[in-house]
Amino acid sequence: MTTSPSFFDSFKTKSGKPITIGTGTGTKWKRSLNNEEINQELVEQIKSTIKLGFNHIDTAQVYNTHEEVGVALKQLDVSREDLWITTKYCPGLTNQPPSEIIDLALKQFNTEYIDLFLIHHPFFQPDNVVSLEQAWIELIQAKKQGKVREIGVSNFSSKYLQEITKISEKYGREYFPSVNQIEFHPFLQNQSQGIVKYCHENNILIEAYSPLAPLSRVGNNNPLIKYLIPLEEKYNKTSSQLLLRYCLQNDILPITTSSKAERMKQSLDIFDFELSNIEIEQINKIGQENPYRDPVTIGIGTGTVVKHLKSSQAHNATSDEIVKLLTYAISIGYNHIDTAAVYNTQPEVGKAFFESGIDRDKIFLSTKFSVFNDDEEKTTITATQFVESTLKELRTDYIDLLMIHHPFFEPDHSEKKYTLQSLWLEFINIKKSGKVRFIGVSNFSISHLSSIINISKPFGREYFPVVNQIEFHACLQNQSPDIVSFCQINNILVQGYSPLTPLFRLQEGNVYLHRLLMDLESKYKKTKGQILLRYCLDKGVVPITTSCQESRLKEGIDIYDFKLEEDEIAKIDKEGAKSIHQVYFAGKY
């Protein structure tokens, strides 16, 4: 690698200057769409960064910060042709198509052209004013008209990139997507499977948002921060500078921001050194072993080893047996216990947690609220009342994660007459109260998730769903169409229950999958169950597993010392897809 990455050469301002790393106007600065007040602090921030030497400003329709960019540019004595302005169209945010958003942005920026215009994400719902194809064609037309110089996308997987590339073919290569802006950092080296390699091979520049996420989202105990400390001294650079340099040496252009001028100045001071190949490899290794989307270890479920759940698949166990099982699991390293109202195991979870002696902040407790139980009996309590009773049963002051168990209910399913909207609003209020740390869902499809994301928008991103727990395994790689990709692109952690289902399918004749797992068993000296759990992790899914046998629980936690290769994952994908099997909610989507 050179200190001036070659990919800069093809992205220049209209006057011919190479673009700098980007300064973002989202994250901290984003304001609601009904807030018309100009954020003067952001105006000064933009002016300050340009004076420092940045020439690349990144904004978006959904950030609602176009006007601040326009005001800052008007007040600065700088040529428009020396700047690079990027913005994005957000499908479904308003009833306006991309062409109208482009015209509006031109007025707000007070400019005749936009340097780079992106589609913010690929998830177009049937009721959107345009489809993905129609939106991309409008971007092509805008480029032809000279309103935008380059067109691209954000948060696209290779599947969606292939779709729009195919659309572009009849217009010529100059109308292919030139950029894919995704979340990228050591703890998330591929937002979707193989996306970095795909973009590099297809001459698509990757821009990285949240490049410093490992520093702000993870405590000082994390091994990456420990590894960076001696590198700070070696290069006389901050950890932030090291991570930005890490992006550049991966041929990825970072987008960063800070309200502190000194930090922004440091962000530009990353071209006078290079990390060694060994250092890059070690950062990669640490990141892969500690993925940000896996904030806790593999989870132990309490659904199929329940005391009262009336199910043909349930393992009957006494209360004391469940407590003993969970206490053992905690003692060998499980710090993530998953339960639910319908499992009726919360008292056992609370007792095991208490008897284990583990500090409360060292364990992650999740539960789920449902408006009716497995016998379709209506719940007689509200979500708020459920949380209060759960806190007592779990013997804690807070719940780490509260989920809606499924989206399939009508008002008459509950004596409280819940709708999806009213229930999610109650979840938001519960989170505001501090009684739960995170809110999420289970068994939700894209349309269901899109609904609650829209409900959450007025309250801010901290009230967006952080988890979608779904059935996931090699023989069911998407519980509902495209759900895993949607969640990963929207920073929603996927938890996978029933991850070992393929073991039962092997008994039904999937010879090729059976042989493949046997070969992997031999190669990695792991059981088939361990291979399947590792498969989940390598797909970016946190598995929720369980067993009545201590030896199997021990095996379940022993999956962090190896990693499946990409072609092995692809083979499991292929063979598993030949035996699609859905245990729960079949036919619901």
SS3 string, 83-126, reads CEEEEEECCCCCCCCHHHHHHHHHHHHCCCCEEEEEECCCCCCC
State residue 88 phi and psi, 5-degree precision.
-140, 145
CB 2 within 8 A of CB 18: no
Torsion-angle region of 549 (φ positive above 0: left; ψ -120 to 50: alpha; else: beta): beta
Give the Cα separation of 531 and 245 in Å (integer). Answer: 35
Torsion-angle region of 194 (φ positive above 0: left; ψ -120 to 50: alpha; else: beta): left
Give the Cα separation of 496 and 443 in Å (integer). Answer: 10
Enumerate the β-bridge partners of residue 205.
Answer: 179
SS3 string, 243-307, reads HHHHHHCCCEEEEECCCCHHHHHHHHCCCCCCCCHHHHHHHHHHHHHCCCCCCCCCEEECCCCCC
The H or E element containing residue 483 is helix 483-489
Give the Cα separation of 571 and 351 in Å (integer). Answer: 42
**Is residue 16 helix, strand or coil?**
coil
Nearest to 138 by CA among 84, 100, 90: 100
The H or E element containing residue 552 is helix 550-557
Q: How long, in residues, is the chain? A: 589
DSSP state string for 411-457: GGGSTT---HHHHHHHHHHHHHTTSEEEEEEES--HHHHHHHHHHHG
State residue 493 phi and psi, 5-degree precision.
-65, 130
Give the Cα separation of 376 and 362 in Å (integer). Answer: 36
Give the Cα separation of 395 and 480 in Å (integer). Answer: 35
Give the Cα separation of 381 and 416 in Å (integer). Answer: 7
Active site members: 63, 120
Query: Rounded to whole angstroms, what are the CA distances from 210 to 232, 253, 554?
Result: 20, 11, 35
**Is residue 460 helix, strand or coil?**
coil
**Is residue 361 helix, strand or coil?**
helix
Give the Cα separation of 152 and 204 in Å (integer). Answer: 9
Give the Cα separation of 31 and 28 in Å (integer). Answer: 9
